Amino acid sequence: MLNKKSVDDINVKGKRVLVRCDFNVPLKDGKITDENRLVAALPTIKKLVNDGGRVILCSHLGKPKGEPKPELSLAPVAVRLSELLGQEVKFAADPEVVGPNAKAAVEAMKDGDIVLLENTRYRAEETKNGEAFSKDLASLCDVFVNDAFGTAHRAHCSNVGVTQFVDTAAVGYLMEKEIAFLGNAVENPVRPFVAILGGAKVADKLNVISNLLEKCDTLIIGGGMAYTFLKAQGKEIGKSLVDDSKIDYCREMMEKAEKLGKRLLLPVDTTIAADFPNPIDAPIEVKVVSVDDIPSDMEGMDIGNKTAELFAEAVKSAKTVVWNGPMGVFENPTLAAGTIAVAKALAETEATTIIGGGDSAAAVNQLGFGDKMSHISTGGGASLEFLEGKELPGVAAANDK
């Protein structure tokens, strides 16, 4: 298990603490439309404030590509955070992030005060991990805390570079929880361990499939990526999504599963339609057929009922389940049945259930199963790289205990 210094291991009284959060929230007309990420950051912020730290928050928002874009300012985040925390979060509106406003605000801080810096990606060096910006950020603080798992797979100034210029670098509660759940699931799972992969493309999950086959007892494959596997078995898949360049890879993975004595479950039936729904949630006429009977002019868009039962059955006896990627076009009510069935199976199991960010996280939350899962990862790309067995730069940069 990764043993990183956490906010419980450090003394911050009277110290300036720079906290990298993930405030990359959706905005519409300057209003935050989903504040899950703000709420998730509160425990770490409150802990540091209660311990008498002088808390300086930073985050990126969207992709301003190194220039100040008013519509991507973190100003609305400061307003909403002040309401959620019940105390003022002073916003330092510097286009260069660490500028006169930030320096003055930090200078004037008392123990327990909070300042929020402007969007770190207003600086072009942020995404290149440039030394000048890393030093600027470090100049504001005595201690650094990283609580942004969503960007842990990127080596940027505000999560990796800054750690080279501070004495103490720890992880926050959110980060600690991600490392505990995802890290343990992959490195030290309670068995039987079932992994479920979905989503559109095999290419996105090449290393994940290979790594999880070595770690899990059963690997379930649904979603758009399943059709490349079915084609690799010699089946007709009609107009379904396929990655022809990955057919040999899929064959290799099926052979690997057999060699390792692992169960690899693929759909046995599929929900088909003539064309992709447009708009995505439009009414659509579908029927369910066996994977051996997909007509050449039809497209598979969700797993069928028998597959849903097969997958749910595999989850029942599991002790650890990791799920990444929906089973079909879940944004359409008619094509959400497979994803709902899997979410329901996870909600009803006694197993530790871990949802690996991205679309699966959106799906379980939208479908109302979020509170039934042991852990929903806040990072799409980061959780995928974790499941691949990669070391994440943002995690590695924190001090060991």
* CB half-sphere exposure, 159, CA atoms < 13 A: 27
Q: Where are the domains of the chain?
A: 7-174, 181-387
381 is catalytic: yes
Residue 80 counted as an annotated binding residue: no
Burial class (CB in 10 A: 0-12, 13-18, 19+), 367: middle
Q: Are 93 and 73 spatial neighbours (Cβ–Cβ below 8 Å)? A: yes
Q: Among the options 223, 238, 358, 380, which is catalytic?
A: 358
pTM for the predicted model, two decimal places: 0.86
Round to whole Å and give the CA distance between 314 and 266.
12
The verdict on whether omega for the bond into residue 333 sits within 30 degrees of 0, i.e. cis, is no
Given this structure, which CATH class describes domain 181-387?
alpha beta
The verdict on whether residue 245 carries a ligand-binding annotation is: no
Query: Of the candidates 114, 147, 133, which has an alpha carbon nearest to the alpha carbon of residue 23?
Result: 147
Domain 7-174 and domain 181-387 have a common topology:
yes
- Is 222 labelled as part of a ligand binding site? no
Instruction: Retrieve residue 211's tokens.
Output: 């790594």
Domain boundaries 7-174, corresponding CATH code:
3.40.50.1260
Q: Is 201 a catalytic residue?
A: yes
How far is the C-alpha of 77 from the C-alpha of 193, rounded, in Å? 39
**How confident is the prediction along the chain (401 residues), in pLDDT tens digits per residue?**
468 999 999 999 999 999 999 999 999 988 998 888 999 999 999 999 999 999 999 999 999 999 999 999 999 999 999 999 999 999 999 999 999 999 999 999 999 999 999 999 999 999 999 999 999 999 999 999 999 998 999 999 999 999 999 999 999 999 999 888 888 888 889 999 999 999 888 888 888 999 999 999 999 999 999 999 999 999 999 999 999 999 999 999 999 999 999 999 999 999 999 999 999 999 999 999 999 999 999 999 999 999 999 999 999 999 999 999 999 999 999 999 999 999 999 999 999 999 987 788 888 888 899 999 999 988 878 888 888 888 889 999 999 99
Which of 4, 15, 37, 231 is an active site residue?
37
| Sheet of 320-324, strands arranged across | 263-265, 218-221, 193-197, 320-324, 352-355, 375-376
Q: Note if 37 is an active site residue.
A: yes
Which listed residue (99, 112, 370, 381) is catalytic? 381
Helix (H, G, I), strand (E, B) or coil at 122: helix
- Is 387 annotated as a binding-site member? no
Name 303's bridge partners.
270
